[in-house]
Structure 1
Amino acid sequence: MKQAAVIIGAGDATGGAIARRFARGGLTAVCVRRTKEMVQPLVEEIRNAGREAEGFGCDARSEEEVIALFDKVEADIGAVQAVVFNIGANVNYPISEMTSRTYRKVWEMAAFAGFLTGREAARVMLPRQAGTIIFTGATASLRGGAGFSAFAGAKFALRALAQSMARELGPQGIHVAHTVIDGAIDTAFIRDNFPDRYALKEKDGILDPEAIAENYWVLHNQPRSAWTHELDLRPWIEKF
């Protein structure tokens, strides 16, 4: 039976790099974004490289859609061996201007969707007593910065979810990890909006998505005698 890696939030930078890395490792990369059209270029790129990939559109905040996604993958693609939850939802507003709608939406995207993804991943992995679940965190997972009340609240919640799941599922053979991505990532957003920061790329001063993906692959392949639960990644010049 084929094996699959499900990447929720397989975007143009980190998520796409993770999908490519797991595909190179021999798993079918199941690339998931809000619509199938958004993820199709990545799927075609992976296939053109001689690897296997499938694309799905799914609102990760919808319980029905997430359940259907995992059922579809298990039935038609292969056994889910790895799941990466990689939705960001980073916003910055002064607390006096933060609306309840924005706060709730950020929580739904970065925390509630993580719960749905983690629960369904556990559901299909538990009968096999094997698998890897990785949640992508951020600096805001550890400390709330000014203006980041919604983002930090959601990322704190996601980190707590990962800890709880690791303690429950680890003894049952499922590796749950949480990564703290502490620093700017090489993306078009950073290039266009923070040119001074992006200029540090030549000095390895911003995070390379391919390097992040390599660390995720290492997490997936760790022997269970020495599992990492929390891994923080930052450029060598980043203060912490």
Structure 2
Amino acid sequence: MKTAIIIGAGPGNGVEISKRFGKEGFQIVCAARTQETLAAVVTELKEHGVEAVGVECDASRRTDIASLVEWTKEQYGQVDVLVYNASILHQSSVLDVSAEQITKEFEIDVLGALDAAQLVAPDMVERKDGAILITGGGAGIHAIKSLPGLSIGKAGVRQLTHMLHDTLKENNVYVGTVTIAGEVKRGTALDPANVAEAFYTLYSNRTDVEKVLSAE
């Protein structure tokens, strides 16, 4: 059985991505900051017949991510797929937002993704197999003036994804991003289930580095 870690396994995209990979027989390791979130997500996954466990993890802390990766390897042997879905939203004007707030969001959006990739990549390179998938946002292409931290973070993680893709492809390790250009909302084109399907399509095809999903 292959194993997938979902960092940022919340009730929207996170749980649907988990379901989609679980449907294909993956053991799912859900990672989130609180036990309350994890308990709800794991319960929902198990109700859908998905093998899942929850592990507390603060994506802004490399030590937390390292512990998560090591625990997963001890329990299941290896990490076949890493999905980095962590992000935070903070509305502000670019003239008012503090450097501390921008730093906090950058740590989650970009540095957490970098840490996670660096921690799983060596084993994937050695096996010449594996995939790293990252949730992007349309704000990284067209900035949203009320979300300066998110816009800067998603621009950074988009470039990070492209660099990881170009660096790891020669070792048969796939890296890709789903760029969500709009508000994720159930019953729309940006339903979390559609986001999850886009992730699995990228993983299955292993060709395109980026898939842009829009509300239209």
TM more than 0.5: yes
Alignment root-mean-square deviation, CA: 1.5
- Superimposed CA distance per residue, residues 153-212 of structure 1 (whole angstroms, 9 cap, x where no aligned partner): 11111111111111110110111002210111116xxxxxxxxxxxxx4xx4x4111111
Q: Which position in structure 2 is the counterpart of 1:22?
A: 21
- Ranges of 4+ aligned residues in structure 1 off by more than 6 Å: none
Contact 1:3 1:78 in 2 (8 A): no
Please give the secondary structure, in 1, of the residue aligned with 2:90: coil
Please give the secondary structure, in 2, of the residue aligned with 1:95: coil
Q: Which position in structure 2 is the counterpart of 1:191?
A: none
Larger Rg: 1
- Superimposed CA distance per residue, residues 41-94 of structure 1 (whole angstroms, 9 cap, x where no aligned partner): 211222233321111001111111111110110111242111111112222211
What's the offset of the Cα at 1:232?
0.3
Contact 2:33 2:57 in 1 (8 A): yes
Counting matched residue pairs gives 216
Contact 2:15 2:45 in 1 (8 A): no
- The code of the aligned residue for 2:57 comes to C
Note the residue ranges of structure 1 that are not aligned, 5 or more in a row: 188-200
- The code of the aligned residue for 1:151 comes to L
Q: Which position in structure 2 is the counterpart of 1:198?
A: none
TM score, norm. by length of structure 1? 0.85
Summarize the alignment of residues 113-192 of structure 1 with structure 2, pairs less than 5 Å apart: 113-186=112-185
Q: Which position in structure 1 is the counterpart of 2:68?
A: 69
Contact 2:85 2:135 in 1 (8 A): yes
Contact 2:33 2:58 in 1 (8 A): yes
**Which is worse superposed, 69-78 or 42-51?**
42-51
Q: Which position in structure 2 is the counterpart of 1:216?
A: 199
Please give the secondary structure, in 1, of the residue aligned with 2:80: strand
TM score, norm. by length of structure 2? 0.94
Alpha-carbon spacing, 1:118–1:58, altered in 2? closer, same or farther (3 Å): same
Contact 2:30 2:38 in 1 (8 A): yes
Q: Which position in structure 1 is the counterpart of 2:209?
A: 229
Note the residue ranges of structure 2 that are not aligned, 5 or more in a row: none
Alpha-carbon spacing, 1:182–1:157, altered in 2? closer, same or farther (3 Å): same
Q: Which position in structure 2 is the counterpart of 1:49?
A: 48
Separation (CA, whole Å) in 2 of partners of 1:157 and 1:9 = 18
Q: 2:190 aligned to 191, 207, 221, which one?
A: 207
Separation (CA, whole Å) in 1 of partners of 2:204 and 2:37 = 29
- The code of the aligned residue for 1:231 comes to K
